[in-house]
Amino acid sequence: MIQDVKTVVSFDTTRLDNSLYVGLMSFTRDQFNTEFDEDNPAPGKIAAQLTRYEAAYTELDTAYVETRKSVYTPEIEAADAESDQLVIGIRQVAEGATRMSFDQERQQQATRFYDALKKYKIDTHENYLAENNKILQWIEEVEGSAILEAAAQTLGLTAAIAQLKTVAQRLRQLITDRAATMPAKERMRNARTAMTSEYRWLITALNAYALVDNDEVRFNVLITALNGNLDYLKNTVLARKGSSEDEPEDGGDTPSDGGEQEPDVTPVTPE
């Protein structure tokens, strides 16, 4: 009976970040290219849709490469790492000095300095944008306070703070410069929207042929592979990501960044 014929299940692609999304579209492309060749050509509507799918995938792949280049550049990574090391060093010196009870004046200065630093809750493991903003705000407070500047000098941290300021300002400029390349994100959004549309119609065409042919065997291998991958994404990959507190790296590699709608795979009768 027609209702018993296996078809490709519906899947919400908006839940996938860009890397998983491109992976799904690549896997789907590979499976169709494996299934259909010169000896086993694709039926009419599937063949026509595969051509459109291939064009959309080419644009998606290009847009994805550009997007990844514009996110976390090596220069930003290096500045971020240097900033982290300076923050850690400054914090260790200040915290250590708060325990030096044999020199009460130095201990009091260290305590004031360390309390001011702790107030900003600078975390070297957090998003580098938030971390850098906190660092610059803290340095501004230190420079505006004679007490904190004197404490920094007593602790021998004046040069380290100046170096951290230079690095933080450079990182802020790198982030600003990076923003100028962000049109790549818009290209990726557009590419995802177009790709999802072609994916939808390709799956629709395949399901339609499977239902009309009412053939358990003809498309079984292809449909089984596609459904197996979708099941893995839904019940393993997304389930695992859903239980993690880690956030995707800023810069477009986030779920729903493509703005596309869930594909409707309602069958249509092939001509």
Helices 74-97 & 128-143 angle (0-180, nearest 10): 50
Position 57 confidence tier, pLDDT thresholds 50, 70, 90: very high
CA 1 to mean position of chain CA atoms: 44
**What residues contact residue 260 under an 8 Å CB cut-off, 6+ apart?**
13, 14, 192, 193, 195, 196, 197
Q: Mean pLDDT over residues 240-251, rounded?
A: 46
**pLDDT tens for each residue of 86-103:** 999 999 999 999 998 788
pTM for this predicted structure: 0.55
Q: Mean pLDDT over residues 210-229, rounded?
A: 84
CA 68 to mean position of chain CA atoms: 9
Look at residue 161 and tell me whether its pLDDT is greater than 60.
yes
What integer pLDDT is reported at residue 247 of this predicted model?
36
Alpha-carbon distance 38 to 233, whole Å? 31
